[in-house]
Amino acid sequence: MDKKSLASLFNSFIVLLVLIMMLVITDFALGDGVTTYPWPSFRHDLLNTAAAPDSGYPTVNTALWSVNRSDRPDQPGTPAAAGGPLVVDQGMVFTTGRGIVQANDQFTGNLLWSRAFPWKVTYEEPADAPTDWCYNDIIKSLSNTGKCYVENMDDCPSWCFECTTEKPDCSETSLVNPLPLGEGFAQFIAGPTLDTENNNIIFGTFDGRVISLNMNTGETNWERTPHKDPGGPNFDPPWYDYRFAWHLSPPSIDNGKVVIGSFLPSFYYIFRGLPFGTPRIGFEYNNYWIGRDGSFYCLDENNGDIIWRAALLATG
């Protein structure tokens, strides 16, 4: 048997072992029945390893019930669409999206609890940013334009796509976040991950938060903003390196640790590669490639404190 076959057999064995352990450990349910096939994370288990095709999971969808989700926090009367993968365990189905996280009974669809997490401002603009920070790449519609401001068209640099003598107001554009949604907006919420052993449901949000709830009641265990927490990137950085981040993917959980990535499609500096990488400064002081977070965080599952952060050169 070759190494590839052995690795595949070993992975299948691990998945089956995890399934057996989960079925043995699960001895109670808050819904009207016991979950036969728990699926607590986007890719099956807390390590996101995914389930093997022959693991015994149902292969045919059968509709048991259909209910509307709770209303969007910014549009009462309008059900919040589910915006990510659902997870299932302890007789409950958990969904996220459009500012709402909720739990329904797996077998009846009855609502068990619902929480609203609309957009809120979690970032700060650097106070010491120069007033001309956007002159050499005027920002528009979430991206750079390649257009530069000059007082005299004869001074247009060769590396600009075009120039203008109309002076932009850099204060009208956020240097940190290119897509402010406004307080209360029904934002995207990433798919959650369940840790049924500790009764936690953990997820990230579009406005830069990572949140842990009690999966039985929906009460908040902790709420953190890694991009500005101790151990994060925003502790006395230079003005051009302030960070903000969207959390778009479900976290992984292992041995009391939560690992989650971050991403922000910030302003792209003209002719600069590595669009998801760490911040760089261009040819001169006033040519900028605005920073983004681009980090992997390892958080303490008990309180959300940062244990370590890996700042990546580039992601894709």
In the chain, where are the structural domains located?
Answer: 3-122+179-311, 139-172
Q: Between these two residues, 14 and 126, which has the higher pLDDT value?
A: 126
Most confident of 45-54, 198-207, 245-254: 198-207
Cβ(139)–Cβ(267) below 8 Å: yes
Instruction: Please give the pLDDT value at position 29.
Output: 46
**CATH class of the 3-122+179-311 domain in this structure:** mainly beta
Separation of alpha carbons 190 and 205, rounded Å: 6
Instruction: Please give the pLDDT value at position 312.
Output: 62
Strand ranges inside the chain, DSSP E: 71-72, 75-79, 87-89, 92-97, 100-105, 111-116, 139-140, 143-144, 147-149, 162-164, 193-195, 200-204, 210-214, 220-224, 252-254, 257-261, 280-281, 288-289, 295-300, 306-311
Instruction: Please give the pLDDT value at position 282.
Output: 36
Q: Is the pLDDT of residue 177 over 90?
A: no
Instruction: Please give the pLDDT value at position 11.
Output: 60
Cβ(113)–Cβ(218) below 8 Å: yes
Residue in 32, 57, 25 with CA at minimum distance from that of residue 196: 25
If phi > 0 it is left, if psi is from -120 to 50 it is alpha, else beta; for residue 256 that is left
Q: Is the pLDDT of residue 215 over 70?
A: yes
Cβ(225)–Cβ(209) below 8 Å: yes
| Non-local CB neighbours of 163 within 8 Å, separated by 6+ positions | 147, 148, 149, 150, 153, 155, 156, 157
User: Percent of the chain beyond pLDDT 90?
Assistant: 29
pTM: 0.72
Separation of alpha carbons 103 and 112, rounded Å: 5
Express each pLDDT in 6-57 by its tens digit.
556 556 656 666 555 555 544 444 667 777 777 777 667 766 666 655 566 6
Pairing mode, strands 147-149 and 295-300: unpaired
Q: Is the pLDDT of residue 134 over 60?
A: yes
Instruction: Please give the pLDDT value at position 87.
Output: 86
